[in-house]
Amino acid sequence: MGATPNYEKEFEAFLNREKHLALMVRSRVKKYEKSKKIAVRHKPHGEWLAYTWGEFGERIDSAAKGLLAMNAKEEEMIGIFSSNSVDWATIDYACFSIRACSVPVYATNSAKELAYIVDDADIRILFAGNQEQYDKAMSIFKDSKTLKKIVVFDNTVKIQKSADVMYLSDFLDMGRASGKEKELENRLSKVQSDDLSTLIYTSGTTGEPKGVMLTHKNWLAMLFATGYHIHIIPTDVNLAFLPLSHVFERAWSYFILCNDAQVDFCHDTKAILEFLQESRPHYMCSVPRMWEKIHATVMDGIHNAPPAKQKIFNWAMNIGGQYQYRKRDGKFVGPWLWLKHAIAVKLVLHKIRDLFGGRTKIYNCGGSAFSGEISEFFFKAGVLLLQGYGLTECFVICVANPSHNKFGTCGPVVPLMQVRISPEGEIQAKSPSMMQGYWKKPELTKEMFSEDGWIKTGDVGFIDSEGYITITDRMKDLFKTSGGKYISPQQIETLLKEDLYFEQAAAIGDQKKFVSALIVPSFDPLMNWAKKNNISFSTKEDLIENPEIIKFYREKIDYLTRDLGQVEKVKKFILLPNEFTQEAGEITPTQKIKRKVISQRYADLIDAMYKD
C-alpha cells in the first residue's frame, strides 16, 4: 500500500504554480506560442475554425485591451449572453486578465431573465452571441440603468451600429489599436488567487436566481479535485457540450486547458450527434437526459429486431461487461475473453461507440438523477460514463473515476472535500471550492451555511461504507401524501424517462391521497408507433386522448415503476400535448422542473385526477 496522499499540501503546490486562471492560460500560450498546437475550435457557420494557442492568446489580450479601452474597472461585472464558442472563452479569460468578473447568462434566457441579471450585477458591458440574444439585449438596453455597451460575437447579426453597439471583430481591433499594453501588464501583475472571478446565477427553481460569488482559488480547487484521478494528455480533445454558463462545463473546460489539451465548443445541443461525429472527443460533460434518449432508442431498436439479432446483441453486451469489469478491477483478461470481446466489438459494440466518434475515454455525467442501469449499459459497450455531483455553491463534491465507479452512485468524495449527513438526511459539504456567498444577498448567504461553516446542499442522500455518495432527492422536492408518506418525485421521473416514449414527467402528490403524474410523450416515436398500429389521428391532442394510447402509457408506467413501493406507484396520469418550456417558466435553463409553477399552471388537470 502506498502512502496516503497529502491533498492539502498537493493543492498548495498546485495553487502556487497556477495562482489565477488568467496566468494559467497565459502560461500555456507561452509554452505553445511557437507551435501549431490547437487550443480551441468552434463552428459558428458550418465550418470548424481552429485557433492555435498563440492565436487564442492574442485574441484574449486584444479583448482585454478592448475592455480597458472601454474603461473596465477591476472587479467590474461583465456579461456574456451567448452559446458556447471560442468567443465566449476569449471574453471570459479577458475579464480575468484585467481583474474583472465575467457574468454568464444562459443563452436560452428570456429578455426578462437577462434584465434581472444585468440589473442585479450592475452590468455595463454585455457580450451577446447571435441575433436572438442581441435582440433580447437591445429590448432591455433603453430602460436599463446600468447597461451601456453591447458587443456582438456573430458578424452576420443585423445590428444598430453605434459607439455603444459593435461587432466583436471591431472590438478586438479597437483593443489591438488601444495602446493599453502597459495597463494590461499592470493589471496582470496584481492578480491574486482570492480575486473574485465570476458571478454564476443559479437557475432559480424555487425563486429568483442568486449570483454565486467564486474566486480564482475556488476554481483552482475544483480543477485540482475534479481531475485528481483522471490523467489528461495534450493530444486529448474535449467537446464543451453543456452551457459554459453552468459551473460543471466551465470547470471541466478550464481543467482541459490547464492540462494543455484541446476544447471544441458545441453551440447547438440539438446537433450533438453531428458534433460528436466531427469532434470525436475523448472527453465530454453531459446530462442524464442525453444518455436516457440514446439508450431508449437503442433498446427500442433491439426490441423490434429479429430474435437472432437480439441474441447476438445480448451476447455481445454480456462479453463486453465481463471484459470491462475485469479491466476496471485490474484483473487478468486472458486471450479467450480478449478474442470474444474483439468479436463482440466488431459485431455490435463498435456501433454504440461510433455514435460518439469512436475515441471515448471518459464522459462525465451530472446535473440530475441518473439510472445506474443505463450507466452500466454504456460501460459494457465501452463508453465510460462517470457520474458526479456538486452544486454551483460547492463544486465538485464527489465524482466517479476509472477505478472507483459504482453504478447508481455519484462516486466517491473528491480530494479536499469534507462531507457529512445532517440529522435530517441532508448532505452538507466543506471545501476550498465553496462560494464566498451570494451577491448582494447576505441573508440568503447566511441561510446557505450551517452555523459551523458547512454548505447546506438541500439534497437528501447517504454515504455508503466505501465512501460513495448516493443522492435520493432535493429536500424541497420531497412531498408527503395525505397519508403521511414521503415520496421522492425525482426517483419516479427518472424511471419513466428511461423509456423512449417519455419526453418529460412531473410526479404530483403533495398532500394528495396518491401519486399522479403529468406526462409529456416523445411524439416522434409515439406517432410512428400509432401509425404501425393503425391508430388514426390528426393532431397531438387527438393522439393523446385515444384510449389505445392511454392504455399503452398505463402499461409502460406500471412496468417502469414495478419495483417501487405501493404508495410510490403512479395511480393516475394525464398526457400533455406540449413540452414544459423555459419560456413558460416551467423549467430552468438546466431543464429542472419548477414544481410550484407546474402545480399552479396545471391545477385544473391535477385536481381532475383526484376527483372520485
Backbone angles phi, psi at 407, to 5 degrees: -60, 140
Backbone angles phi, psi at 259, to 5 degrees: -100, 20
Burial readout 1-27 (b: 16 or more C-beta within 10 A, e: otherwise): eeeeeeeeeebeebbeebbbbbbbbbe
| pLDDT surpassing 50 at residue 1 | no
> What count of Cα atoms within 13 Å lies in the side-chain half-sphere of residue 595?
17
CA distance 116 to 134: 16
Which residue, 168, 157, 154, 170, is CA-closest to 83?
A: 154
From first CA to last CA, the distance across the chain in angstroms is 65
Give CA angle at 220 (219, 223), nearest 5°: 90
| pLDDT surpassing 80 at residue 3 | no
What are the distances in angstroms from CA 193 to CA 63, 446, 544? Answer: 22, 24, 56
Helix then strand then coil, in percent of the chain rounded to 5, is 40, 20, 35
More confident residue, 476 or 95: 95
The whole-number pLDDT of residue 204 equals 64
pLDDT tens string 362-377: 999 987 778 889 999 9
Q: Is-cis flag, bond preceding 396, omega within 30?
A: yes
Which residue, 406, 253, 378, is CA-closest to 317?
A: 378
What are the distances in angstroms from CA 445 to CA 93, 210, 418, 442? Answer: 27, 10, 20, 5
The whole-number pLDDT of residue 205 equals 61
The whole-number pLDDT of residue 591 equals 81
| pLDDT surpassing 90 at residue 140 | yes
> What count of Cα atoms within 13 Å lies in the side-chain half-sphere of residue 226?
31
| C-alpha cell, 277 | 461525429
The whole-number pLDDT of residue 479 equals 84
CA distance 183 to 114: 31
| pLDDT surpassing 80 at residue 334 | yes
pLDDT tens string 275-308: 999 999 999 999 888 999 999 999 999 989 999 9
- β-pairing, 385-391 vs 394-399, is antiparallel
pLDDT tens string 430-441: 999 999 999 999
| C-alpha cell, 433 | 471550492
pLDDT tens string 402-427: 999 999 899 999 999 999 999 989 99
H/E stretch holding 312 = helix 307-328
Fold for the domain defined by 11-191+227-286: Rossmann fold (3.40.50)
Contact 48, 40 (CB under 8 A): no
The whole-number pLDDT of residue 119 equals 97
Q: pLDDT averaged over the chain?
A: 95
H/E stretch holding 236 = none
C-alpha of 544 from chain center: 32
The overall pTM is greater than 0.95: no
CA distance 212 to 198: 8
CA distance 203 to 113: 10
The whole-number pLDDT of residue 255 equals 98
All CATH 3.40.50.12780 domain ranges in the chain, comma separated? 11-191+227-286
Q: Which percentage of the chain shows pLDDT scores above 90?
A: 87
The whole-number pLDDT of residue 420 equals 97
CA distance 102 to 110: 19
What are the distances in angstroms from CA 80 to CA 19, 293, 302? Answer: 24, 30, 44
| pLDDT surpassing 60 at residue 339 | yes
Fold for the domain defined by 479-609: GMP Synthetase; Chain A, domain 3 (3.30.300)
| pLDDT surpassing 60 at residue 249 | yes
The whole-number pLDDT of residue 206 equals 62
